[in-house]
Amino acid sequence: MSSYLFIILGAVLVNNVVFVRILGLCPFMGVSKKLETATGMGAATTFVLTMACGASFIIDRWLLIPNQLEYLRTLSFIVTIAAIVQLTELVIQKTSPLLHQVLGIYLPLITTNCAVLGIPLLNVSLRHNFLESLLFGFGSAMGFTLALVLFGGIRERLEAADVPVHFRGTAIAMITAGLMSLAFMGFAGLDKYK
Amino acid sequence: MLEALLVMALGAVVLGAALGYAAVRFRVEGDPLVEKIDAILPQTQCGQCGFPGCKPYATAIAKGEAEINQCPPGGEEGIHKLADLLGREFKPLSAEHGIEKPKSVAVIDEQACIGCTLCIQACPVDAIVGAAKQMHTIVAKQCTGCELCLPPCPVDCISMQPIGESVESWKWKYPVFKINPTQREAA
Amino acid sequence: MTALQRLFKFNGGVKPAYNKEASTGLPIAVAPTPTLLVIPLHQSIGGPPRPLVKAGERVLKGQRIGDADGNVSSAVHASTSGTVVAVEMRLMPHTSGLSAMCVVIEPDGRNEWIPRQPFDFRSASPAASRDFLRDAGVVGLGGAVFPSHLKLNAGKQGKLDVLVLNGAECEPFITCDDVLMRERPEEIIKGAVIMREMLSAGEVLIGIEDNKPAAIAAMEIAARAANRVAGANVYKVGSVPTRYPAGGAKQLIRVLTGIEVPHGERSTDYGVQCFNVGTAYAIHEAIELGQPLISRIVTVAGNVGQARNYEVLFGTPMKDLVALCAPLPDSDRLIMGGPMMGFRMPGDDVPVVKATNCVLVGSTALFPPPPPEMPCIRCGECAKACPADLQPFEMYWFSRAKIFGKAQEYNLFDCIECGCCAYVCPSRIPLVDYYRFAKSEIWAREVEKEAADVARDRYEFRLLREEREKQEKAAKLAAKTAAGREKAAAALAEAAKPAATPEEDAKKALIAAALERARTEKARVHPENTADLTPEQQAEVTAIEARRAEIREMAKPHLRPDD
């Protein structure tokens, strides 16, 4: 039981997908200007990533491995993820058109979010079972959301701050992200209490 | 090889079917976004954006057919709000659509008015009162300052007058950081 | 007996130097009538009153010169008898330095009153009593000048539990309420009796800061007398701890009753209403003596030889008033109100108005210029000092960056602009200036939004109307055609064409004739330089024309908007 907890905690904090694995930086920088959109993007990614982990596990275990088609892994994962993203987009467009408009190009871009492809592939190489895959996907997505929401909150305040002219915009955002990354690396110390 | 093709084809068919179903199930009726954009626009109905009114412009923005910087009466403020709403980058007002002017109202020089009713037909908010061969006048409270009544007037008796500040509409100024207040005041 | 036993507390607040003794030494004096009175028409919250007099007209003391515009407004009266010299724009006692409509009266020195009759509010309906007070120009004299008749409405329940009289007067230098309570406590209590009856209030709590023992003693005697008449202990004097801003309405209500009025709600809904003691006095004068509000007690203090309280007619120029107190030579500014919440006047000839509780004479020595603003260090002192329990540093952060939505999320509009935060700020940030800036920007935006909504409605109605007119026209035309068909049954082919009536035909013929004329005219005029050309010239012209066409063709794709 506790191993499941460790999978989630590890994915959220110790191996945070953004700050430690440095994956999915495109939406991290792009959609974190406002707390509201950051939360929306986090929720959408969480949904997509969890679904993608489940679907990719099924495809890998019962379609690719029995047919010795492991070389199609990346390709078929991408197709699956793309379909799930499309589905999510349709649902969001229906339920929250404003969020849809605000997420804009970043919503279809979840498809190319390397975190969304990276986590299912990691699942395979870590030999996770179905439940572990789902939890790992969910945990990583929560880590992504956490990073996005924290960063979104900081950027909202930064907008009102007196940033030196040359550091305004993306520059100060990069510096902030770097400092947050350093802070998150501190969670590596949690390992000792395993 | 054949197996690979079959697997991919199977996947494509299954996913395609799922997406097709979702497209029907979650069809979006209308566009509530247009209302939100329309609420930001100043409703002068002046047409400077190149669209016949604020609503059509809002629709065009929502569809991505128009830029957010085509509304001179809305000014920088309006562009900022649109950029915020839509998550787009702020752009300065595009010069081809006009420049931001101080808020004004149209005033008819009543001595020169010939009572042709052309301006009445041009006013998008029905703010001009008058009848054929009678003097016209503008209800200042309802005038949006769109300037649409200026071109049709055959005797050029309509002019735009900026609205001055009154004690009621006066705004507190942004506190200015004075390096040395005594010197500044003495100067 | 009349003292209030249990008191509560409000959070925050500061204890600035009070400087009140200078102006309480002498009794209230009546300021002499100046040579010219400038009475602004707009002296209260709400719509500006409409002028009722014209230049050249003679007015009597207490004659209405401005009529309340709608219910949220208050009338204005002539302060003395005389001749109206002008109704024109004059400099207002307002920070902006802008002018507004004023009635300028030259007093005749006779002080001739209009016929004054007491108003029998007991037999009149509550609405009639409120209208009477509106026309008597009674507004809140604590500084906010909110029309009192609007507050004398008991709200949903039809009765109040507590009527609070505000005699706290927490702002430094100001003593006008203090001396009024010392010298005229009976009249204040009489006003309170009227208000209590109009509001069907249970008890009346009079809150006075404990640094005014003389006022507390005087009010207690008057309250005891009123209690004897009422036969019950309903008028109570509460000596509240001296701490700025104990005189804020919400703060005083909280101290006296323990009720904290929440954000966005009115104290009436909690059974409490708060009035200034000066307002109670004005209500007594209006109802029992029939005198409209034409004067008030004003403290003149600060950089003067002898600070004192004067009973001043509205419209008296401030410089005339200040001259009575021998201002010191280094005086360089006039402040209306106290040092915490007061406004600097744009000149010294602005008139005393209903909102003027104090004219503070300032100098660089008395109020040195603030040291330069330093960055906010987020020490949180301002949050500790805020009597409205807000987070001033957050409101400042977003007001400064002009992110008004966020500032509003931190409840900017619950800020009472008391200045406690700026007073304690170690970085000397003029916080209140930022809040005032943000508030007025937000208000301006709201006004704009309302105007836009009206314009949208009118535009949509116009579209609707145009559509309807089009349909009506079409229907009319169809009816006409049908009628024509009946009339000219023989000419069936004719009737098939819409609008083939004889007058239409005549119109068409006229248009055709005009078009024909235009065509011949056009044909007659030839470009002269193309006549009598040699073959070479002709060839050249053709070549140029071809090139032009080519260029036009090339330019076309670039003209498309999507490029």
Q: Is the confidence at residue B183, as pLDDT, over 60?
A: no
Tokens encoding C327: 């201002």
| Nearest CA distance, B38 vs chain A (angstrom) | 14
- Contact A101/B at CB under 8 A: yes
DSSP state of B27: P
- Contact C433/B at CB under 8 A: yes
User: At C158, is the secondary structure helix, strand, or coil?
Assistant: coil
pLDDT at position B88 is 80
Q: Are both C280 and C402 inside the same structural domain?
A: no
| Residue C145 in domain | yes
Q: Are both C128 and C277 inside the same structural domain?
A: yes
Give the mean pLDDT of B98-103.
84
Longest dimension (CA), chain C: 123
Ranges of chain C with pLDDT below 50: 1, 499-500, 557, 559-563
pLDDT at position C242 is 93
Identify the closest residue of chain C to A161 by CA–CA distance. Answer: C401
pLDDT level of residue A169 (50, 70, 90 thresholds) = confident
Q: Which amino acid, C94?
A: H
- Contact A74/B at CB under 8 A: no
Whole-angstrom distance, CA of residue A106 vs CA of residue A25: 12
Sequence-separated (6 or more) residues with CB below 8 Å from residue B64 = none
C459: chain B residues, CB-CB within 8 Å: 43, 45, 53-54, 124-125
**Would you call A9 exposed, middle or buried from its count of C-beta atoms within 10 A (0-12, 13-18, 19+)?**
middle
- Contact C42/B at CB under 8 A: yes
pLDDT at position C501 is 59
Domain with CATH 1.10.15.40 in chain B: 32-97
Residue of C184, C169, C194 whose CA lies nearest to C311: C184
Last residue of a domain, one of C262, C290, C318: C290
B53: chain C residues, CB-CB within 8 Å: 459
Q: In this complex, do C400 and A157 lie within 8 Å of one another by their Cβ atoms?
A: no
Distance between first and last Cα of chain A = 14
Q: Are both C276 and C378 inside the same structural domain?
A: no
DSSP C417-430: ---HHHHH-TT---
Q: Are both C277 and C130 inside the same structural domain?
A: yes
Sequence-separated (6 or more) residues with CB below 8 Å from residue B102 = B162, B163
Domain B104-162: top CATH class: alpha beta
∠ CA C376-B171-A161, nearest 5°, is 25
C41: chain B residues, CB-CB within 8 Å: none
Q: Are both C282 and C392 inside the same structural domain?
A: no
pLDDT in tens, B40-93: 898 888 888 888 888 889 989 888 888 888 898 888 888 988 888 887 888 888
Identify the closest residue of chain C to A163 by CA–CA distance. Answer: C401
More confident residue, A98 or C423: C423
- Peptide bond connecting C245 to the previous residue in cis, omega within 30 degrees of 0: yes
- Contact A36/C at CB under 8 A: no
Tokens encoding A125: 């190489």
User: At B177, is the secondary structure helix, strand, or coil?
Assistant: coil
C375: chain A residues, CB-CB within 8 Å: 162
Q: In this complex, do A160 and C375 lie within 8 Å of one another by their Cβ atoms?
A: no
| Residue C235 in domain | yes
| Residue C354 in domain | no
DSSP C246-277: TTSHHHHHHHHH---PPTT--GGGGTEEEEEH
Q: What are phi and psi of A23, to 5 degrees?
A: -115, 155
Neighbours of C119 (CB within 10 A): 18
Q: What is the mean pLDDT of chain B?
A: 84
Last residue of a domain, one of C290, C320, C339: C290
Tokens encoding B37: 């954009």
Identify the closest residue of chain A to C397 by CA–CA distance. Answer: A160
- Contact C346/B at CB under 8 A: no
Whole-angstrom distance, CA of residue C236 vs CA of residue C197: 16
Whole-angstrom distance, CA of residue B171 vs CA of residue C438: 9
| Residue C445 in domain | yes
Kind and range of the H or E run holding B162 = strand B158-162
Tokens encoding B121: 């037909």
A160: chain C residues, CB-CB within 8 Å: 397-398, 400-401, 403, 406
User: At A69, is the secondary structure helix, strand, or coil?
Assistant: coil
Give the mean pLDDT of B131-138.
88
HSE, side-chain direction, 13 A CA sphere, residue B102: 6
Per the structure, the complete domain to which residue C478 belongs is given by: 371-511
Q: Are both C125 and C264 inside the same structural domain?
A: yes
pLDDT at position A63 is 85
Q: Is the confidence at residue A133, as pLDDT, over 70?
A: yes
HSE, side-chain direction, 13 A CA sphere, residue A173: 21
- Contact A103/B at CB under 8 A: yes
Per cent of chain B over pLDDT 90 is 7
- Contact C397/A at CB under 8 A: yes
| Residue C304 in domain | no
Whole-angstrom distance, CA of residue B156 vs CA of residue B116: 12
Tally of structural domains, chain C: 2
Q: In this complex, do B62 and A80 lie within 8 Å of one another by their Cβ atoms?
A: no
- Contact C369/B at CB under 8 A: yes
Whole-angstrom distance, CA of residue A41 vs CA of residue A144: 10
Task: Specify whether the CB–CB gap between C172 and C19 falls below 8 A.
Answer: yes
- Please provide the size of chain A in residues: 194
pLDDT at position C562 is 42
- Contact A175/B at CB under 8 A: no
Q: Tell me the residues of B at the A interface, defined by beta carbons under 8 Å apart.
A: 3-4, 7-8, 11-12, 15, 18-19, 22-23, 26-28, 31-33, 36, 62, 84-88
pLDDT at position B53 is 86
A64: chain B residues, CB-CB within 8 Å: 7
**Would you call B37 exposed, middle or buried from its count of C-beta atoms within 10 A (0-12, 13-18, 19+)?**
buried
pLDDT at position C30 is 94
Predicted structure pTM score: 0.80
- Contact C403/B at CB under 8 A: no
Distances (CA, A) of C271 to C9, C157, C227, C296: 19, 8, 21, 29
Task: Specify whether the CB–CB gap between C69 and C58 falls below 8 A.
Answer: no
DSSP C331-395: EEEEEES-TTT-EE-S-S-PBP-TT-SEEEEEETTTSPPPPPP-------HHHHH-TT---HHHH
Q: Which amino acid, C224?
A: R
ipTM for the complex shown: 0.80
A97: chain B residues, CB-CB within 8 Å: 28, 31-33
Q: In this complex, do B22 and A91 lie within 8 Å of one another by their Cβ atoms?
A: yes
- Which residues 41-70 of A are in CB contact (within 8 Å) with B? 59, 63-64, 67, 69
DSSP state of B136: -
Q: In this complex, do A94 and B62 lie within 8 Å of one another by their Cβ atoms?
A: no
A157: chain C residues, CB-CB within 8 Å: 397
Q: Which chains touch C (3 or more CB pairs under 8 A)?
A: A, B
**Would you call C247 exposed, middle or buried from its count of C-beta atoms within 10 A (0-12, 13-18, 19+)?**
buried
Domain with CATH 3.30.70.20 in chain B: 104-162
User: At A117, is the secondary structure helix, strand, or coil?
Assistant: helix
Q: Which chains touch B (3 or more CB pairs under 8 A)?
A: A, C
pLDDT at position B15 is 86
The CATH number given to B32-97 is: 1.10.15.40
Q: In this complex, do C456 and B38 lie within 8 Å of one another by their Cβ atoms?
A: yes
Whole-angstrom distance, CA of residue C502 vs CA of residue C483: 13
Whole-angstrom distance, CA of residue C118 vs CA of residue C289: 5
Q: What are phi and psi of B168, to 5 degrees?
A: -75, -40
Beta strand C308-313 pairing with C76-77: unpaired
